[in-house]
Amino acid sequence: MHIIDIVQNSISAGAHLIAVNILDDKEKDIIVIEVKDDGSGMDADLIKRVQDPFYTTKSHKKVGLGIPLFKQTAEHCDGSFEITSEPGKGTSIRATFKRSHVDLPPMGNLKDTILTLVVGEPSVDFVFNISFDGNHLFLDTREIKEELQDVPINHPEVIKFLREYLEENLKTMEVAS
Ligand SMILES: Nc1ncnc2c1ncn2[C@@H]1O[C@H](COP(=O)(O)OP(=O)(O)OP(=O)(O)O)[C@@H](O)[C@H]1O
Ligand SMILES: [Mg+2]
């Protein structure tokens, strides 16, 4: 849920390329989630303000909660939270969590998360780098789109292929829950 939220922010910021890195390391007892985009970016003042739960630039809403909630969850789970951003260049958000923390939220269904993003935002490119205890999943939609040529990435046959590919590659990974 947090991942979709943070990626949605990148899309709202006009990103064309979004990298999602997830590292789940049982031995080091840590989970790292990183989202990097090439969207509009934020200046130092905005970076500070968006971490405040009562700040949003959306006019129809009183509060923005995506970032404050993600930060709060990370820090509550003995982790850390960091935003690096440059106006006009892009934004990088990195959150860490103590894997064994009792309040660690479940990772949820990563396959569905990835499919929702890739298929739901066909005009945005994604690079997923997911690593669970030595098992890796790498997916770059730019490569897939090049292979597909004129076939859209949200074509039913492509979705079926992607779903099977993700199932195959994620099943060996012990998803933290
Ligand atoms: N990747 C990003 N690039 C540029 N600006 C961003 C990015 N992520 C967040 N922001 C800015 O930070 C603000 C706060 O984000 P946050 O997700 O906390 O709330 P929101 O998106 O406004 O509302 P909500 O997520 O609750 O629907 C956004 O309105 C946006 O101005
Ligand atoms: Mg948001």
Q: Which atom of ligand 1 is nearest to the CA of 68?
A: 18
**Residue 111 and residue 170: Cα distance in Å, rounded?**
7
Residue 173: what pLDDT? 64
Residue 52: what pLDDT? 79
Q: Report yes or no: 92 and 35 within 8 Å, Cβ to Cβ.
A: yes
Q: Concatenated DSSP letters for the chain?
A: -HHHHHHHHHHHTT-SEEEEEEEEETTTTEEEEEEEE-SS---HHHHHHHTSTT--S-TT-S---HHHHHHHHHHHTT-EEEEEEETTTEEEEEEEEETT-TTPPP---HHHHHHHHHHH-TTSEEEEEEEETTEEEEEEHHHHHHHHTTS-TTSHHHHHHHHHHHHHHHTTS----
Neighbours of ion ligand 2 (CB under 5 A): 9, 66
**Residue 131 and residue 32: Cα distance in Å, rounded?**
10
Residue 61: what pLDDT? 61
Q: Output the pTM of the full model.
A: 0.92
- Ranges of residues in the chain with a pLDDT under 50 are 176-177
Residue 10, ligand 1, Cβ within 6 A:
yes
Residue 171: what pLDDT? 77
Residue 20, ligand 1, Cβ within 6 A:
no
Residue 175: what pLDDT? 52
Residue 174: what pLDDT? 53
Q: How far is the CA of 13 from the centre of ligand 2 (A)?
A: 10
Q: Which ligand is nearest to the CA of 90?
A: 1
Q: How far is the CA of 10 from the centre of ligand 2 (A)?
A: 9
Please, what are the domains in the chain? 2-170 (3.30.565.10)
Residue 66, ligand 1, Cβ within 6 A:
yes
